[in-house]
A and B are shown apart, each in its own frame.
Chain A
Amino acid sequence: MEVIKVGMADLKLVKAPGILTTLGLGSCVGIALYDKYNKIAGLAHIMLPSSKEIKNNDNKAKFADTGIELLIEKMVKEGALKKNLSAKIAGGSQMFSFNNTNNILKIGERNVLATKEKLKELNIKIISEDTGGNYGRTIELNSDDGSLLVKTIGHGIKVI
């Protein structure tokens, strides 16, 4: 089966059959959207919560808010229906721990919150998630059934 890699600050989609993968998610969040009737899957790898906080926001795939919008737009163009879409999310960990409350180091948590907020605003249901913690994740979204495989080093493998 075709495996398409999604890099950091990037997004891709595929019609079944095919797998979308993103490797080594840390504080970034992987957002997997799926239209189960048309079997169209989309995956975004966002780095930051909001395009509105930042001047340099040309790359829409970098942010949770604009990344989700752009992914939906592209999926609809390929024949997906917005009302069919459901979401699964993974990532948003805190790789390094410090005593002080540095905003940058809490970025994983903020990415997850912003992602949930945007999906709620767009009425897209989050079916499952594997977020937080202090470890990296590799994820694989299967466009046949919308299953999301989450692999880690030392924290197990699961399908959500």
Chain B
Amino acid sequence: MDVENLNSMMLDILGEIGNIGSGNAATALASMLSKRVDMNVPQVRILEFKDVAEVLGGEEKLVVGIYLDLNGEIKGNMMFILDLESAINLTNMLLNREDGGDELDDMAVSALSEVGNILASSYVNSLSALTGLKIAVSVPSLAIDMAGAILSVPAIQFGYVADQVLFIETIFEEGNRSVKGNLFLLPDMNSFGKILSSLGVL
């Protein structure tokens, strides 16, 4: 299976998978925060490597990235990316802090990793239930750096098989918009075939 061979129906189905997964993830986030969480309709995006960082506002933009490896019958990875301000606001809510300053301390990093873990797990659980495929999620790893540098990690994984990156993106917003994050599901190319055939499409 190549990125070029995906037809619009397949892309719609991947979008719907994203919708179900993200819906569960949004519910989990909302109950963690006891606040309303909105999400957009997930987008299936196919981008050239050079354009990947534009999604987040340019290569040099400072972001917080939480990376998780997917293993089992579906392989790939998930990333939850927030700008620094959103990350600070989110940890302040989680840790019941009034004002956490303008940096992320160890406690905040740990809390954010756990958010990534819960989002990814709830997303992946619904994907697993839907397809009947077993998927394991690794422990999260967090980096605070330039968007380009963080996104080079999944881009390189696609680089082995393709000249483009395909991902399913959902934007989450906390009710009063002080937290905005992008959740990316990046299954590897072989996994697309598996997902689609488990659903009877291929």
- Provide the bound-state CA to CA distance between A150 and B129, in Å: 47
Do A96 and B146 touch (CB < 8 A)?
Answer: no
A137–B50 alpha-carbon span in the complex (Å): 16
Q: Is the CB of B156 within 8 A of A93?
A: no
Give B152 Cβ to nearest chain A Cβ, in Å: 3
Instruction: Indicate the member of A26, A93, A95 with the most B CB atoms within 10 Å.
Output: A26
> What per-residue 1/0 map shows which CB atoms of A146-160 lie under 8 Å from chain B?
000000010000000
Q: Are B153 and A96 in contact (CB under 8 A)?
A: yes
Count chain B residues whose beta carbon lies closer than 8 angstroms to a beta carbon of A: 36
User: Using a Cβ cutoff of 8 Å, how many contacts connect chains A and B?
Assistant: 110
Known contacts A23-B58, A24-B148, A59-B163; decide if A48 and B141 are in contact (CB<8 Å).
no
Measured between beta carbons, the chain A residues less than 8 angstroms from B150 are 26, 95, 136
Q: Does A101 sit at the interface, judged by CB under 8 A?
A: no
Q: Select the residue from A23, A96, A134, A153 with max chain B CB neighbours within 10 A.
A: A96
Is the pair A7, B145 in contact by a Cβ cutoff of 8 Å? no
Interface assignment of A27: CB less than 8 Å from any CB of chain B: yes
- A57 CB to nearest B CB, Å: 10
Q: Is the CB of B143 within 8 A of A134?
A: yes
**Nearest CB in chain A: distance from B103 CB, A:** 10
Contact: B163 with A58, CB < 8 Å?
yes
In the assembled complex, the Cα of A96 lies from the Cα of B58 at a distance in Å of 20
Is B151 in contact with A26, judged by CB distance below 8 angstroms?
Answer: yes
**Smallest CB-CB separation from B153: which chain A residue?**
A95
Given contacts A24-B148, A26-B150, A58-B163, contact A47 B60 (CB under 8 A): no
Which listed residue (B51, B156, B163) contacts A56, Cβ 8 A? B163
A58 to B163, CA, bound (A): 9
Q: What A residues does B69 contact at CB under 8 A?
A: 98, 102
Question: Which listed residue (A24, A56, A59, A99) contacts B152, Cβ 8 A?
Answer: A24
Q: Which chain B positions have C-beta within 8 A of A134?
A: 143
Please give, as numbers and ranges, the residues of chain A lying within 8 Å of B142 by CB-CB distance. 96
Most buried by B among A9, A10, A137: A9
Partner among B50, B144, B161 whose Cβ is within 8 Å of the Cβ of A7: B50
| Residues from chain B with Cβ under 8 Å of A136 in the complex | 145-146, 148-150, 152
Q: Report which A residues bind B (CB closer than 8 A).
A: 7-10, 23-28, 47-48, 54, 56, 58-59, 62, 93, 95-100, 102, 104-105, 107, 134-138, 153
B binding-site residues for A, Cβ under 8 Å: 48-53, 58-60, 62, 65, 67, 69, 138-139, 141-153, 155-157, 159-163
Listed A/B pairs (24) with beta-carbon separation below 8 Å: A7-B51, A8-B49, A9-B49, A9-B50, A9-B159, A10-B50, A23-B58, A23-B59, A23-B148, A24-B60, A24-B149, A26-B150, A28-B156, A47-B152, A54-B161, A56-B162, A95-B65, A95-B67, A96-B142, A99-B139, A105-B153, A136-B145, A136-B150, A138-B146
